Amino acid sequence: MNIHEYQAKEIFRRYNVPTPRGYVASSVEEAVQNAQKLGGTLWVVKAQIHAGGRGLGGGVKLARSLDEVKAHAQALLGMNLVTHQTTALGTCVQKIYIEEGVEIANEFYLGMVLDRSQELPVMMASCEGGMEIETIAQSAPEKIIKVSIDPFIGFQSYHGRELAFGLNLPQEETQNFIHCAKALYEAYMHNDASMIEINPLVKTKNGTFIALDAKMSFDDNALFRHPEIVAMRDTSEENPIEREASEYGLSYVKLNGSVGCMVNGAGLAMGTMDIIDYAGGEPANFLDVGGGANANTVAKGFEIILKDPNVKSIFVNIFGGIVRCDRIANGILEATKMVKVDVPVIVRLDGTNAKEAVEILKNANIKNIISATDLSDGAQKAVAAAKGALV
Ligand code: ADP
Ligand code: MG
């Protein structure tokens, strides 16, 4: 789950990660009031959408007067902001964040993710603040300083010093930086974040550090421990089909191909996407209907897959381990009565009672339901069907 910058900054403040003062607004009047509340003579008006790259996309504006705050708020609220991380249609800006303007001396990058190869959280820092870490990793990987942190030991000063030395910070600034990095570590660990990022972390003229941007993502499997983070969820930022699927306990991720996939188990779903690719096609989605698939979940699965107009065939690939294949076959037949399925459905069922399942489907004699003999046969038929070839 992702949250907005203003929400991530609320969390930062709880852990003493230094942030500029700021208030969120949903209307122009509120934006101006916020600027008045902040005082001063320099404000930044920032579009709150889940995508990054807002600065380049025109979603971060400096204002030197309340009139300018007003004009920027008017322009940003309700606009579809396009950045390189949004779709070409952009994301509608519903909230803006009014923040005090900070005099920047230097911009850095500081972030944390889980390093799966090390099996440890890793903190990364770079002098190339403002640039995306993925870009630096490709163009100048030596400019990223990384330290792995064993959670049993926790963040220690030597971790911070290693990063500070790597950034060539003068000694008198090291303590400030370490304080910031330690606070970031606590915010990451205590909230079960999967990613936390300050880009840019800026050094002001007097050598203090402050987080100008804030990004956090959370491990969905740990959200039950954090009701206050769940409360920050902004469903308007999520794909509506993915959201509907999650309400029915289905894991669905929309992709760009034409072969819809309905599979039980995440591993088999990944394998199915690979084999579709291998057969020369492209999967339209990832869909894991879970271990206890029945007629209702299969029907919901069809409904969700068919909401995507790119889908030209559906590959049902279910292994009958916990569920028996004959029950799934009956479930598929029942589901086609509940939902109008007008594309070819290629069914590969294997495992317990697979033979009976094939018989059930054969006897039902429905024209667009086609049995596959095995995994590669199923993938080939599904790809051929998606390309309009007779199966
Ligand atoms: P994004 O990463 O989506 O482009 P940022 O929050 O990083 O958005 O803002 C883009 C740029 O705008 C920053 O790199 C920084 O130079 C400038 N900026 C952002 N917030 C402030 C602020 N409070 N004061 C001064 N400049 C800011
Ligand atoms: Mg940024």
Q: Which residues are annotated as a binding site for Mg(2+)?
A: 199, 213
Binding residues for substrate: 264, 321-323
Residue at 391 is within a domain: no
Alpha-carbon distance of 369 to 326, in angstroms, equals 15
Residue 119 lies in a domain: yes
- Write the single-letter amino acid at 111: G
- Nearest-angstrom CA–CA distance, 4 and 215: 7
Check whether residue 87 and residue 135 sit in a common domain: no
Average pLDDT over residues 9-36: 98
The residue to mutate among 34, 42, 44, 60, having the most atoms of ligand 1 within 8 angstroms of its beta carbon, is 60
Where in the sequence is the domain holding 323, given as residue range(s)? Answer: 240-386
pLDDT at 195 over 90: yes
- Same domain, residue pair 130 and 171: yes
- Percent of the chain, pLDDT > 90? 83
Q: 128 with 202, same domain?
A: yes
Q: What is the pLDDT of residue 211?
A: 98
End residue of a domain, out of 46, 76, 101: 101
Classify residue 149: in a domain, yes or no.
Answer: yes
Residue 1 domain-assigned? Answer: yes
Q: Are residues 121 and 217 in the same domain?
A: yes
Q: Mean pLDDT score of the chain, rounded to an integer?
A: 94
State whether 219 and 268 are in the same domain. no
Instruction: Please give the distance, rounded to the nearest whole angstrom, from the Cα atom of residue 257 to the centre of ligand 1.
Output: 36
Is the domain of 94 the same as that of 208? Answer: no
In a domain, 229, yes or no: yes
Give the model confidence (pLDDT) of 351-377 as tens digits. 999 999 999 999 999 999 999 999 999
Q: Which of 197, 237, 252, 303 is catalytic?
A: 197
Type of residue at 356: E
Number of domains comprising the chain: 3
- Which CATH number fits the domain that encloses residue 275? 3.40.50.261
Q: Which SS3 state, helix, strand or coil, does residue 147 take?
A: strand
**CATH label of the domain that carries residue 160:** 3.30.470.20
Distance 223 CA to ligand 1 centre (A): 29
pLDDT band at residue 191 under the 50/70/90 scheme: very high
Tell whether 150 and 71 lie within a shared domain.
Answer: no
Q: Is the pLDDT of residue 55 over 90?
A: yes
Q: Are residues 375 and 356 in the same domain?
A: yes
What is the gyration radius of the CA atoms in the chain, in angstroms?
A: 26
Instruction: State both tokens at 200.
Output: 């840019």
Measure 127 CA to ligand 2 centroid, in angstroms. Answer: 14
pLDDT at 125: 98
Residue 6 bears catalytic tag: no
Strands, E, within 159-272: which ranges? Answer: 193-203, 209-211, 215-218, 251-254, 259-263
Beta-ladder partners of 186: none
Which residue type, as a one-letter code, is found at position 337? K
pLDDT band at 215 (very low <50, low <70, confident <90, very high): very high
Flag whether pLDDT at 292 surpasses 80. no
> Nearest ligand, CA of residue 104?
1
The pLDDT, as a whole number, for residue 356 is 94
CA of 213, closest atom in ligand 1 = 6
Give the start-end residues of each E strand in the chain: 22-25, 43-47, 60-63, 80-81, 91-92, 96-100, 106-115, 120-126, 144-148, 193-203, 209-211, 215-218, 251-254, 259-263, 285-288, 313-320, 345-351, 369-371
- Residue 343 in any domain: the answer is yes
In angstroms, the CA 161 to CA 166 distance is 8
CATH code of 96's domain: 3.30.1490.20
Q: Same domain for 120 and 35? A: no
Name all residues whose Cβ lies below 6 A of ligand 1: 20, 44, 46, 52-55, 60, 99, 101-102, 130, 199-200, 212-213
Domain stops at, among 51, 81, 101: 101
Q: Give distance in angstroms: CA of 199 to centre of ligand 2.
A: 4
* Structure tokens belonging to residue 315: 């590959």
Q: Which ligand is nearest to the CA of 199?
A: 2
Q: For atom 18 of ligand 1, which residue has the closest CA?
A: 212
pLDDT digits over 151-174, tens only? Answer: 999 999 999 999 999 999 999 999
My answer on whether 288 and 359 are in the same domain is: yes
pLDDT of residue 391: 61
**Within a domain: 350:** yes
User: For residues 316 and 288, what is the distance between their CA atoms, to the nearest angstrom?
Assistant: 11
Whether 15 and 161 map to the same domain: the answer is yes
Q: Which of 208, 223, 238 is the last residue of a domain?
A: 238
Note whether residue 273 is domain-resident: yes
96-100, 201-205, 247-251, 258-262: lowest mean pLDDT where? 247-251
Rounded Cα–Cα distance for residues 110 and 129 (Å): 8
- DSSP string across 313-379: EEEEEEEESSS-HHHHHHHHHHHHHHS---S-EEEEEEETTHHHHHHHHHHHT-TTEEE-SSHHHHH
pLDDT, tens digit, 9 for 90 and up, residues 303-350: 999 999 999 999 999 998 878 899 889 989 988 998 999 999 999 999
State pLDDT tens for residues 76-100: 999 999 999 988 889 999 999 999 9
Q: Point out the annotated binding site.
A: 46, 53-55, 99, 102, 107, 199, 213, 264, 321-323
Residues 187 and 329 in one domain: no
Centre of ligand 1 to C-alpha 74, Å, is 19
Told to judge if 197 belongs to the known catalytic residues of this protein, a careful annotator would answer yes
